[in-house]
Amino acid sequence: MTAHNERRSWVDSANGHPDFSLANLPLGIFSRPGLTPRGGVAIGDRILDLKAALDAGLFDGTARQAAEAASGDSLNAFFALGAPARRALREALQGLLDADSLQRERLQALGETLLQPMAACRLHLPARIGDYTDFYVGIHHATNVGKLFRPDNPLLPNYKYVPIGYHGRASTIDVSGAAVKRPNGQTLAPGASEPSFGPSKRLDYELELGIWIGEGNARGEAIPIAEAGSHVAGFCLLNDWSARDVQAWEYQPLGPFLSKSFATSVSPWVVTAEALEPFRCAQPPRPEGDPRPLPYLWDERDQQAGALDIELEVLLLTDAMREQGLAPQRIALSNTLNMYWTVAQMVAHHSVNGCSLQPGDLFGSGTLSGERPESFGSLLELTQGGKQPLHLPSGETRTFLEDGDEIILKARCRRDGYPSIGFGECRGRVLPAA
C-alpha cells in the first residue's frame, strides 16, 4: 500500500523499495572497476553518481556546493557543511528524481553514467573516522548485563546521571561485508588462578545505532544541549563485536580494551537526520523516582522530539544453515526507543568538558536491547551468559558465535501515512583466529 504522501520516482525500483525510496536518499561511497571511490546516493537498486551529476550540471547554488563536498572519496567535507547544505542537496535530488521532474528525459538518457547498478558496485566506509566513542545508553542491556555480574546491584549509581561511554578504536572499524577474524587474547578460565592466551571462546555481537557527527566544535567550547542535534549528520547500523571472555578479564578497572578494539562493523549508507524527521518522537518518560538530568543535559524540545522510532533486527546465518538452504534466522527485534539518553544528550555530554568533535567522528549508542528476551541485542543476554543455548532451525545451538557464523543487522522506520525508510544491512562473518 502506497503512503498518502509518498512521492514517486522515475527510477522504477525506488517506488515501494523497502529501504531506498525517494523519501530516504542516503549517502555513501562506492566504486566500480575502473572508477575511483566516489560519493553516491542510494535510490532503489541504483546509486546516483554525484560526480557524474555535477559533470552534467544538475546542481546549482548551495546544492552544488553540497554535491561537490559529497562527491569525493569520503563524506567528511559534506558532513562539515551542516544541515542547510544537507537540506539543499536533498531537495535538489528529490526534484531531479521525482516522476514529474522536468529533466526526466535528459536524466534517463544519461543511463548508467548517472545511475550505477548497486549490485555491480563496491561500497566503502562513508567517512574517514578520526575518533570513535561507544556509549552505553541502552538501559535494558545495561541492566541485563549488570544482573549477570551484580545481581543485587545491576545499575551503578552514575548510570542515570551520566551518558556513559568509552573511547574506541577507529582504525578497526570496517564496512558491512568485511570478515571479522576471531581475536586472540588473555582470558581467565573459571576456577583458574592465572590467565591463558588463545582465541576468544565467547565471541559476541552488539546491536547498535551508529551516529555520524557533522559540524564539530572548537576545542574548549561545549555544544549546548539545545544545539546538539544540529551537529549530527546522519545515522547507520553498528555492530560492536565483543570478546566476552577477554572483556571479563581486562575490564577492571578501566573498562573495555582489546575485547572491543579488534573489529567494529557499520552499514555503508548514511541515513541523514533530515530523512528521519518523520520518525522523531518524544523521549520515553523516565521511571518514577529516576533523577532529572542535570541542566546541561536537559532541553524540553529535545525531550519532546529528540527520540527516534527505528526498528532494529538481528539475524544469524551459520555454515550449516547455508548448506541446508535455510534463510537467516531472526534472533532479536528491538527499537531505538530503548535508549535512556537521547542522541543530543550524548553529543552535549561528550563536548561539555571542551572535547573537540570533528566531522566524521562516529558514536555507537551501545547495545539497544528491549525488555523481553526476543529483543535482547547480544548473545550474552540471550543465552544468560552462555547458560541457556539458543536453538536454531538447523538443529544447532549457540551460546556464543562460532567460526563461519554471520550476523546481519537491519533497521527500518515505519509510520502510518509515510513511506518506510531502511538502513540497508550491516553484515559480518566470523573467520578463525590467526
Cα distance between residue 254 and residue 269, in whole Å: 33
The pLDDT assigned to 6 comes to 80
To the question of whether residue 367 is assigned a binding role by annotation, the answer is yes
Question: Is the N-terminal amide bond of 284 cis, ω within 30° of 0?
Answer: no
CA 403 to chain centre: 24
Mean pLDDT per segment of 10 residues, for the chain of length 434 residues? 72 96 98 94 98 97 98 98 97 98 95 96 98 97 90 89 96 98 96 96 98 97 98 98 96 92 98 98 95 98 98 98 98 98 98 98 98 97 96 97 98 95 98 96
Q: Which of 17, 140, 141, 350 is catalytic?
A: 141
To the question of whether residue 205 is assigned a binding role by annotation, the answer is no
Which residue shows C-alpha cell 562516529? Answer: 362
Cα distance between residue 197 and residue 186, in whole Å: 5
CA atoms within 13 A on the CB side of 390: 27
Query: How far from 328 is each of 101, 310, 369, CA to CA, in Å?
Result: 39, 21, 20
To the question of whether residue 206 is assigned a binding role by annotation, the answer is yes
To the question of whether residue 272 is assigned a binding role by annotation, the answer is no
C-alpha cell at 269: 549508507
CA 229 to chain centre: 16
The pLDDT assigned to 5 comes to 64
To the question of whether residue 264 is assigned a binding role by annotation, the answer is yes
Cα distance between residue 232 and residue 351, in whole Å: 13
The pLDDT assigned to 1 comes to 43
To the question of whether residue 397 is assigned a binding role by annotation, the answer is no
Amino acid making up residue 54: L
The pLDDT assigned to 34 comes to 85
Cα distance between residue 359 and residue 76, in whole Å: 6
Query: How far from 88 is each of 54, 55, 95, 204, CA to CA, in Å?
Result: 15, 18, 11, 41
CA 300 to chain centre: 26
Task: For the chain, give the secondary structure using H, E and C.
Answer: CCCCCCCCECCHHHCCCCCCCCCCCCEEEEECCCCCCEEEEEECCEEEEHHHHHHCCCCCHHHHHHHHHHCCCCCHHHHHHCHHHHHHHHHHHHHHHECCCCCHHHHHHHHHHCEEEHHHCEEECCCCCCCEEEECCEHHHHHHHHHHHCCCCCCCHHHHCCCCEEECCHHHEEECCCCEECCEEEECCCCCCCCEEEECCCEECCEEEEEEECCCCCCCCCCCHHHHHHHEEEEEEEECCEEHHHHHHHCCCCCCCCCCCCCEEECCCEEECCCCHHHEECCCCCCCCCCCCCHHHCCHHHHHHCEECCEEEEEEECHHHHHCCCCCEEEEEEEHHHECCCHHHHHHHHHCCCCCCCCCCEEECCCCCCCCHHHCCCHHHHCCCCCCCEECCCCCEECCCCCCCEEEEEEEEEECCEEEEEEEEEEEEEECCC
CATH number of 132-431: 3.90.850.10
Which residue shows C-alpha cell 567517512? Answer: 127
For residue 206, give the nearest of 133, 136, 150 by alpha carbon: 136
The pLDDT assigned to 149 comes to 79
C-alpha cell at 96: 531531479
Positive or negative: CA dihedral 57, 59, 61, 62? negative
Burial code (b: 16+ CB inside 10 Å, e: under 16) for 282-320 equals ebeeeeeeeeebeeebebeebbebbbbebbbbbbbbbeb
To the question of whether residue 340 is assigned a binding role by annotation, the answer is no
CA atoms within 13 A on the CB side of 11: 30
| Domain 12-124 matches domain 132-431 at the CATH topology level | no
C-alpha cell at 378: 547480544
Cα distance between residue 64 and residue 66, in whole Å: 5
To the question of whether residue 150 is assigned a binding role by annotation, the answer is yes
Q: Where are the domains of the chain?
A: 12-124, 132-431
To the question of whether residue 247 is assigned a binding role by annotation, the answer is yes
C-alpha cell at 56: 552534467
C-alpha cell at 405: 557464523
Q: What's the pTM value of the predicted model, to 2 decimals? A: 0.96
Instruction: State the pairing for strand pair 242-243/418-431.
Output: unpaired
Fold assignment, 12-124:
SH3 type barrels. (2.30.30)
C-alpha angle with apex 153: 295 to 209, nearest 5 degrees? 55
Decide if 124 is catalytic.
Answer: no
